[in-house]
Every structure is written in structure tokens, then in C-alpha cells.
Structure 1
Amino acid sequence: MSFLSLLGIEFRKLRRSRILFILLLPVAILWLPSILNARVNLTPAAAAISPEHNFLIQGYMGMAWFMIPATFIICTVLLTQTERKNNGILKMLALPLDPGRLCLAKFVVLLSFGVIQLLMTAAAYYISAAAATHLLNYPFILPLSYVLPITGEIYLASLPMAAVFWMLATLIRTPVFSIGIGLAAIVPSVLMINTKIWFAYPMCYPFYTLMTEYGRLSPGIFSACLRPLPLIPAAAAVTVLCLTVSCIQFGHSERSE
């Protein structure tokens, strides 16, 4: 069975799930307060950067720090439990296919959820910025050429983190434990971005990426910047290691029973 066929099967399995609602809910939760509190961006306390940039950064902060990681965690559990329910994983493994390839197909589906959610985030930003502009008569809308690259950088920075969460969901069969460990791993991100070894903690990559943009706009707030070294080697090593472990262990416990 080809990899594309596996992808098609995985997407069809989720047709009746509430995955789009799971992806949309965090976006709505974060951007609605941004509209209601948009006036704060015009106060002297927020004058470190322009109101329109502050509106974007503040809205993206919650997504980069907590909502995107939390959504990945929930989606990893959803993908694994879909197979484990009614022994579906055993039926899949009984077919003439490589378990590692099936594991990678599910991971690609997981990454597609990240694309969808970040596109929703960008769309919600423009809707919120337009609403705030109308309410306060101030142009909060930034050009697409600025918003999309930031959104893309946050997504790319989240890939190693997604690999870590996918490995946890593959290794830990109990959903409560998998979700609990994943959520607990998100919290230290705020502390890790201020250390010299931030690159060793992939859960902080999306938030660190956003904060470097904040620091570029206002150097006095966050002085660090994104450098290819040591970020790219560390991110690549984490991603490859976690995916290797996931592919080796995927379905292992079910086959051994």
C-alpha cells in the first residue's frame, strides 16, 4: 500500500470526528478577548511597539505558548485512540503494510492539523483586526506579507514539538497520562526561552520564535534572535529521534499481547 493511500485512509477515518471544532475553538477563545480589549493597545503602557503590531503579537502569544501545543497533544491522542478503539490497530497491522509507514502517515495527518489551525489563526487575526479597526477607528490590520511569514515560522518551529508529543502518544497507551505529561511539558516554555539551553527544549520553539519577533520590534523586551545554529541541528535531531522511536514502537504493545 502506497504512502498516499495510507494518508487517504487516515483522513477518511476522521471525517466524522470533531477535529475542525477542536482546531477552531482555541482560535475563537483567544481572538475574541483581543477584540474586546483592543483599546489597551492604544494606551501608553503598550507604546513599546506600534498598536497594530502589539495587537498581532499579543493575539499570537497565547497560540504559540499554549494553544498550539495543547491542540497537538489532543490530536495525537485522538489519532492513536482511533486505532486502539475496537482493536482497530490490530486490523491495520494485519494488513501487508509497514507499521513505521503507517506511523509516519498518522504524523503527517497530525502536521496537517497544525497547518489548518494556523491558517485559522491568521484568518481570525484579520477578522479581529478589522473588527477592532471599525470599533476604535484605528488601522490595526497588518499586510499579509508580514503576517504569513510569522505564521509560517511558528508552524515550522512547532514541528519538533509535534514529534515529541507524537512519540509520547505512541509510547503511552493511557490517554490521561499522555495528555497530562504533554500539558505539563508546555508550562516551562516561558522559563526556558530565557535560558541559554532553550534549543534543547522543543516545546518552547514556537513561543521563542514569536518572542524574537517581539524583541526585533522592541529590543528592550527580548534581546535574543533566531540563529540557524544551534537551532536547526537541535530541531532536526529531536525530530528524527522522536520519529524513529515512534516508528519502532508503533503498535508494538498490541502485537505483543
Structure 2
Amino acid sequence: MSFIDMVKIEFKKVKRSFILPLIFIPPLLVVISGVSNLSMYFTPEYKGAWAAMFVQSGLLFGYYLLPFSMVVTCVMISGRETKNNGILKMLALPISRKKMAVAKWVVLLIFIVLEITIFFISFVVAGWVATKTKGISETLPVLYVLKWSIYLFLSSIPAASLMWMITVFFEKPIITIGLNMLLVIPAVFVASTPAWVAYPYCYSGRLVTSELHRVSMGVDKMPFDLFPLIPCAIAILILSIFISAVSFGKKEMK
């Protein structure tokens, strides 16, 4: 069985679960909140109002709502196998445990893509409606929103790999959710320290924070050092995927 076929099978297992309704909620909440506060941004002295509104929405989404939904998605993906000892039946098949673990992680990434896509589409649609109903003359920067939506996805991948590793490690969902939530909550504080490069849970929020500073200062570009961020993020990504792949199914086989 090819890896792509495994991903398709894993996706079919969970596509009828509550994951899809779940990933609609955070982006819609953020966008509705942002659009409802349009009057705060569109004033004569405010330049780049759309960017400011998107960044303010992205802060809440990047720091908390996206990671929280990722945690629950991890547990729901894992829970499809643990119910009725389905994991034991799956492990009895002549299929690599490591490939299974990575396939499930890829499914997690697919759901993250879907959630951020919903965030992007919702923002664009809500912005278009707002320009028509409130008489806003400033054009909605669709490419800007798209660019930062892609940044949000890329910066969330290392955290997703750590969340999946923790999910594989612990059998009880309450422990997985509790531990990951405890790691998500201090992300906004860690992001303001030099240790943020080694803390993937704050990557998305930190990137949006840097853009907030740029927008608030009214400059074209803010310096953002990608070293040692990228090497550190890649190392965390590879290590967490490797550990989750090696550990997957071991506790059930004991």
C-alpha cells in the first residue's frame, strides 16, 4: 500500500467526525469579531486599516484558537483508533506502524490547511460584504491576507508535530489535552523572550506580533531574523515526527 493511499484511508476514517464542524468555529469567531469592530480601524487618520484588522484577528487566532483546535483535532484523530480496540486490529495488519503515524500526522496538517483556508475565505467574504454595506473605499488586500494565511500554516507545522507526538505518547485523552493546553497558554509570554525560537507553540503568534509592530509603526518592512528560527523549527519538526513514528502503537502492543 502506498503512503498516499494510507493518507486517503486515514482521512476517510475521520472525515465524518466532528472535526470539520470544529475547525469552522475558531476562524468564524475571529472574523466576526474583527468585522464587528470595523469602526475602530476605518478612520481618516488610520492608514492600512485592513492590515491592522487582519493582524489583530491573527493574534488571537495564531496564539490560541488555532493551537487549541489543533490539540482537539489530534485527540479526535487518535480516538478513532482507540475506540473499540480498533488500534489493535490496525496494528495486526501488515502495514508499517511508522507509516501509519506519519499518515495520521499528514491528515492533521490537512485539517490545519482547511481551517486556515476557512479563515482566509471568511475574512475575504466578510471584508467584501463590509465594503459594500458600510461604504468603505479602501480596497481589501486579498494577496496580503493570502500571504499571511500561508505564513500561519507554515509556522504552525512544528507545533502540530509536537502535539501529535504528545498524543502518541499518552493513552488517555485528558492527559494529552491537558498537557498541550498547558503548553499553549504561556505561548504569548514566551514569545517576548529569547527562548521563543525553541518554543513552537508561539511561532504563529510571534510572526503576527512582528507584523503588528510593522503596521503600528507604519513602515514597509520590519527586520525579522530567520536564524536560528528556521534551523530550530526544522530540528524540532524532524525530531518530533521521528519520535512519534517510532513510538506509535508501542503502548498498545505491550
State the TM-score, normalized to the length of structure 2: 0.93
Measured at CA, do residues 213 and 39 of structure 1 come closer, stay the same or move farther in structure 2, by a change above 3 Å? Answer: same
Measured at CA, do residues 144 and 103 of structure 1 come closer, stay the same or move farther in structure 2, by a change above 3 Å? Answer: same
* Deviation at residue 28 of structure 1 after TM alignment: 1.6
Tell me the alpha carbon deviations over residues 71-90 of structure 1, each in whole angstroms, 9 at most, x when there is no partner: 11011001111111111111
Is the Cα–Cα contact under 8 Å of residues 200 and 233 in structure 2 kept in the other structure? yes
Measured at CA, do residues 126 and 139 of structure 1 come closer, stay the same or move farther in structure 2, by a change above 3 Å? Answer: farther
Tell me the alpha carbon deviations over residues 137-168 of structure 1, each in whole angstroms, 9 at most, x when there is no partner: 22455332211111111110100000110011
* Deviation at residue 41 of structure 1 after TM alignment: 1.4
Is the Cα–Cα contact under 8 Å of residues 31 and 122 in structure 2 kept in the other structure? yes
AA partner of residue 234 (structure 1): C
Match of 1:91 among 78, 86, 89: 89
In structure 1, the residue matched to 2:247 is 249
Distance 1:140 1:30 in 2: 21
Is the Cα–Cα contact under 8 Å of residues 211 and 222 in structure 2 kept in the other structure? no
* Deviation at residue 220 of structure 1 after TM alignment: 8.5
Measured at CA, do residues 146 and 220 of structure 1 come closer, stay the same or move farther in structure 2, by a change above 3 Å? Answer: closer
Distance 1:68 1:210 in 2: 13
Distance 2:181 2:103 in 1: 24
* Deviation at residue 216 of structure 1 after TM alignment: 2.2
Distance 1:41 1:255 in 2: 57
* Deviation at residue 218 of structure 1 after TM alignment: 2.8
AA partner of residue 21 (structure 2): F
Distance 2:137 2:30 in 1: 20
1:102 equivalent to 2:100? Answer yes
Tell me the alpha carbon deviations over residues 170-200 of structure 1, each in whole angstroms, 9 at most, x when there is no partner: 1111111111111121111111121112101
AA partner of residue 17 (structure 1): S
In structure 2, the residue matched to 1:2 is 2
Tell me the alpha carbon deviations over residues 74-109 of structure 1, each in whole angstroms, 9 at most, x when there is no partner: 110011111111111111110111101100000000
Distance 2:97 2:66 in 1: 27
Match of 2:155 among 150, 154, 157: 157
Identity percentage of aligned residues: 31
Aligned length: 253
Tell me the alpha carbon deviations over residues 19-64 of structure 1, each in whole angstroms, 9 at most, x when there is no partner: 21111011122221222221111358x94x5222112111222111
1:180 equivalent to 2:172? Answer no
Tell me the alpha carbon deviations over residues 192-251 of structure 1, each in whole angstroms, 9 at most, x when there is no partner: 121112101110000011112222223489x97432210111001111111111011111
1:28 equivalent to 2:41? Answer no
AA partner of residue 63 (structure 1): F
**Aligned ranges 1:1-257 → 2 under 5 Å:** 1-42=1-42, 47=46, 50-139=48-137, 141-219=139-217, 225-256=223-254
State the TM-score, normalized to the length of structure 1: 0.92
* Deviation at residue 126 of structure 1 after TM alignment: 0.9
Distance 2:160 2:222 in 1: 24
Q: Name the SS for the 1:228 alignment partner.
A: coil
Q: Name the SS for the 1:197 alignment partner.
A: helix
Distance 2:64 2:9 in 1: 30
Residue segments in structure 1 that go unaligned for 5+ positions in a row: none
Distance 1:249 1:11 in 2: 21
Is the Cα–Cα contact under 8 Å of residues 74 and 108 in structure 2 kept in the other structure? yes
Distance 2:173 2:61 in 1: 23
Measured at CA, do residues 93 and 13 of structure 1 come closer, stay the same or move farther in structure 2, by a change above 3 Å? Answer: same
Measured at CA, do residues 141 and 82 of structure 1 come closer, stay the same or move farther in structure 2, by a change above 3 Å? Answer: farther
Which deviates more from structure 2 when the two are superposed, residues 244-253 or residues 138-147?
138-147
